[in-house]
Structure 1
């Protein structure tokens, strides 16, 4: 090769070894060639695995592993500089188990175009890729509380969370044993609280090894849930319960039991024939909707009274016995209420 000039040209020399002694000269239509010369450079790129397709219903894509994670590219500097990524593709369409395959490596520009050039070389042209396929399952989240609100306040209803159930994923043998995600009470400690309590809980820390959450970051779910415990004031209300709403039950055979209205009740000023018992209650305001004294009922259980006194049968007389009121949800008595009960032997009607 003749010497290159400063402008990267070479003079072309023509020769032949056939009939050379019969030729006076050899010439071409060009006697100079222009060369495009640039530096040869190398670049190391991480290999990205692109997983295409959707697994079978009830399964998701798990981890991907490769036998190589980088590729070395060498070639003309102007070409290598355009290469921004190295990728290979594996399809998992319809799969319900792991897949392992060989995948070719492609080089890409920043705008996603494949780079191909005769003078480009790579140290490897393909890699082995394994894609895990995981089974999924929907499970409930169980929330519980610890502590008690400040005196005069109560928890109104169950904890409210932006998610009551989630999907988990893992090997079938692992997720089969997961029945629910149980949040320990310490996460929702309401001790001494007098207003709504809000907590952000990371569900990931309460999953067994080998089980993961199926997150949906596109819709804002990253494995964390917001939980609100509603804490409201307790109100007190007094009701006039008609004594006729009380019933004596479990009277022993051979005895009669009678509620002594005069000693227990208070005459209603608007109806002298109706006797009522004042019952003070406490509860959460909205539970009182539609509740009236006339709708409350109670029982006096003679057998419970005898059992507590260690007796099997009563003696005749008047006894102060506890009234067991049936209260609506969210409402309770502020104190125990009693009624005077007269016990007497039943009149059998026998005559001597």
Structure 2
């Protein structure tokens, strides 16, 4: 019996091998092995918390998380069913080497056990691993461009004023500021928009956010657009200079006008910026008052200075001069009586036909007087109003004489004449 089982053993083994070879031949003839290449296969990073849980961050170098080319070898019947989406590339952080590389495992999510081979042009992911750093930055809002003529940019505000940035220490330590910018060219009304947050180093070079994490990447920005208007400065003065001195009435300033900014409805009723007299007190002074006033303190509500380079300080001069005296001779013939009641007539008597008067005032005013044009008057209505003459009746009165002098010129001493009133015959 044993001989029957073993006698044809060699023949049996040979039959099995022949059958296997024949099957392979048939298979290869009917379903031959072939290959297919797939491009740009992303590598999935697994267990990243193996790094991040240690307070570190990683950066993938040289774009090694993308495999340029993956070659799959399998029977044609398998290859025909596989697409790029079926190719899986995985790198596990738990496999991190001392060289900061992770080997890539390639497979397919279907018929993986039927593949002859699967290979990529790279076999590992390269990493840069650093300590993690986080900072909080004040969010600065700016603008670019120029608004329409007659307008300016007012407040530029963001709805959130802080941004938190995390990432590799070598990158985060370079960040100097966080900023959003709004283009305002041509605008004449308020702007509300959402803008991207950008990061800059100390040299104003933008820092890419590729490997950084921001708690917000965009923010809403509100830009106030204000109308502008140039108006003169108007100063009031208080106090009286020392005896023998007067204010000329001239107040100069540098600048003499300012640009105001606000809503058009506010500016339309403003024709000047008025500075109250409490800022300019000339009491007892014998020379010009020269001072600096910050006109920004006197702006109307909801109005601001329209030149952001101007700090509001204005150099102000109140001009004060000594008074001068000048003598004139007035003829008695140049004295007239005004407002004499009907039925009466009057005559002014003086000791001489001509008499001197001395006028005082600022030089410009006094020197403008032509002595030949000086006239004296006795105004009965004025004398009655002042109570110097209560009732007009015959008699003699000593009354003050008025002269047609310029407004800011007066007599050093009043001139009194005798007025004779009598009834007409």
Matched, 1:229 2:307: no
Match of 1:66 in 2: 158
TM-score normalized by structure 2?
0.65
SS in 2 for 1:38: strand
Matched, 1:130 2:222: yes
Q: Deviations over 1:250-309 (max 9, x none)?
A: 33334443443xx343xxxxxxxxx42110222123333243533322222234345531
- Write the distance in 1 (CA, Å) between the matches of 2:224 and 2:246: 49
Q: Deviations over 1:89-136 (max 9, x none)?
A: 223333333221111112223333332253233222100111122333
Decide which structure has greater helix share: 2
Are the aligned partners of 1:187 and 1:199 in contact in 2 as well (CA < 8 Å)? no
**Cα distance, 1:233–1:14 mapped onto 2, change above 3 Å:** closer
Q: CA RMSD of the aligned region, Å?
A: 3.4
Are the aligned partners of 1:101 and 1:129 in contact in 2 as well (CA < 8 Å)? yes
Tell me whether 275-284 or 138-147 shows the greater mean CA deviation. 138-147
Gaps of 5+ in 2: 1-93
Match of 1:78 in 2: 170
Choose the corresponding residue for 2:193, options 82, 88, 101: 101
- Write the distance in 1 (CA, Å) between the matches of 2:305 and 2:198: 32
Tell me whether 10-19 or 51-60 shows the greater mean CA deviation. 10-19
- Write the distance in 2 (CA, Å) between the matches of 1:158 and 1:192: 17
- Write the distance in 2 (CA, Å) between the matches of 1:9 and 1:212: 59
> Displacement of 1:61 after TM fit?
1.8
- Write the distance in 1 (CA, Å) between the matches of 2:343 and 2:141: 88
- Write the distance in 2 (CA, Å) between the matches of 1:104 and 1:15: 38
Tell me whether 168-177 or 121-130 shows the greater mean CA deviation. 168-177
Match of 2:297 in 1: 205
SS in 1 for 2:242: coil
> Displacement of 1:333 after TM fit?
0.6
> Displacement of 1:182 after TM fit?
3.6
Match of 2:416 in 1: 338
Match of 1:285 in 2: 363
Gaps of 5+ in 1: 266-274, 348-352
Q: Deviations over 1:26-78 (max 9, x none)?
A: 99999898754433333322222122233334332222221222222233333
- Write the distance in 2 (CA, Å) between the matches of 1:38 and 1:326: 95
**Cα distance, 1:54–1:303 mapped onto 2, change above 3 Å:** same
Tell which structure's C-alpha radius of gyration is larger.
2
Choose the corresponding residue for 1:245, options 309, 334, 346: 334
**Cα distance, 1:242–1:191 mapped onto 2, change above 3 Å:** same
- Write the distance in 2 (CA, Å) between the matches of 1:301 and 1:288: 24
Are the aligned partners of 1:264 and 1:340 in contact in 2 as well (CA < 8 Å)? no
- Write the distance in 1 (CA, Å) between the matches of 2:106 and 2:197: 44
**Cα distance, 1:32–1:201 mapped onto 2, change above 3 Å:** closer
Tell me whether 59-68 or 138-147 shows the greater mean CA deviation. 138-147
Q: Deviations over 1:185-224 (max 9, x none)?
A: 222222222222223222233334323232342xxx3123
Choose the corresponding residue for 2:390, options 296, 310, 315: 310
**Cα distance, 1:28–1:190 mapped onto 2, change above 3 Å:** closer
TM-score normalized by structure 1?
0.77
